Amino acid sequence: MTEFEAFAIDLSRIAAQAALPLFRGQYAQENKAGPGAFDPVTQADRAAEAAIRQAISARYPDHGVIGEEYGEDRPDAEHVWVLDPIDGTRAFIAGLPSWTTLVALRHQDQAVIGAIGQPYLDEIFIGGPSGGFALARGKTSRLKTRACARLEDALIATTDADIFIGPDREAWTRLRAASRLARFGCDAYAYAMLAAGYIDLVAETELQLWDWSALKPVIEAAGGRFTDWQGQPPSDGRVVAVGDARLTDQALAVLNPG
């Protein structure tokens, strides 16, 4: 692997050292949302991002960082690390091992390396110039998406149907009806399973830069495609990831019937 790919793995492990001891334990948490809503952040989120940022600063002081919890630092740098210390905080506080740490490296505003780490399961999924790999319990294997030529045969996923509002909800309902099976509640771990060849399509909306930057390189290195709902690079928070490129046009036709 390249130096930066290896460092992305190191950062995933550093985040794990900060977050995993708190999982299914006692820790501080608060609600970032206003009245009537719930957007949790925990001590683990903040500790993991702080640890990653410290490691980046020590190793590459000229690199920029964009993180969910602590904002932007030199976001216009040539190399910028994009961090979601715990994607799936709701899963974390529920004791479910589907939360992940997302680490991405953007070079000249393009995501070129991504790492999806699940510390409790001892898994890291990495994608970059060297290809896609799964590091699990001391073993390394190549990531490879599976073939699925027809949407009607596809196993699809999203975090929660309630993330879709208005026309987006109608679009998701059509996509669900056109597929074979849908799974919910996996957050970014669904994309790791797509890259590993177990899920065929993931569609979501309202994603932030730190939510998807690590996912795109992993999916593409495994042989899949990652676009917005118009088949272009993600820009508005709507994404579609497929393991088999033949699904892209079918999915986009369902999401955008006009």
Q: What is the pLDDT of residues 146-184, one digit of tens each?
A: 999 999 999 999 999 999 999 999 999 999 999 999 999
> What is the rounded end-to-end Cα distance, in angstroms, of the chain?
44
Angle at 208 between CA 203 and CA 211, to 5 degrees: 65
Strands 79-87 and 64-67: parallel
Q: What is the pLDDT of residues 76-129, one digit of tens each?
A: 999 999 999 999 999 999 999 999 999 999 999 999 999 999 999 999 999 999
Average pLDDT of every residue of the chain: 96
State residue 194 phi and psi, 5-degree precision. Answer: -65, -45
| Contact partners, residue 246, CB within 8 Å, separation at least 6 | 148, 149, 150
Number of neighbours of residue 206 by Cβ within 10 angstroms:
14
CA distance 142 to 125: 10
